[in-house]
Amino acid sequence: MKRIKGQTLEQIVGRLRAGDPATVEAFPQRRLLGAFATACLAIAYANARGVVHRDLKPASIILGDFGEVFVLDWGIAKVRGEAAEALSGSHAAHDATQIGRVRERPAAARPEAATQAPSSAADGGAAPVSACRSRCRPS
């Protein structure tokens, strides 16, 4: 397993909210938006191949010192469509990722997860946009 060095988006946003001067200088809005766009591209790549993350949050995105962006925490990902058929005998097809099973943290869960109704969106596509609107606005 590759060792990843960096800071989570959650840590960075926390220090920005606290007004930490070093963090404010190191992570201007343009850099944060670029990292956010890169994370969105990673999720879009996975979605296009039938993989749904299902637990995307600021603590799951790591920003490296040299511009790297990593999306982690794929433990409860759901594989759908042709990709799921190809993995039909593997862990991806097991009970932990069956449609209708709630595996998200309650604070981050999609509203339809409470009713256990399957989502029509690939990965709660509006969630990253609303997260950006609420977290990336200049103070």
The answer to whether residue 52 scores a pLDDT higher than 50 is: yes
Q: With 0.95 as the threshold, say if the pTM is over it.
A: no
pLDDT, one tens digit per residue, over 98-131 is 555 555 555 656 555 555 555 544 444 444 444 4
- The contacts of residue 112 (CB under 8 Å, 6+ apart) are 118, 119
pLDDT, one tens digit per residue, over 10-30 is 999 999 999 999 999 999 999
What does the pLDDT read at residue 80? 85
Tell me the catalytic residues. 55
Question: Three-state SS string across 10-33, please?
Answer: HHHHHHHHCCCHHHHHHCCHHHHH
Q: What is the CATH number of domain 7-135?
A: 1.10.510.10
CA dist 100 and 36 (Å) reads 29
Cβ proximity of 73 and 60 under 8 Å? yes
The SS3 call for residue 39 is helix
What does the pLDDT read at residue 56? 92
Ranges of each domain in the chain? 7-135
CA dist 21 and 105 (Å) reads 32
CA dist 11 and 47 (Å) reads 26
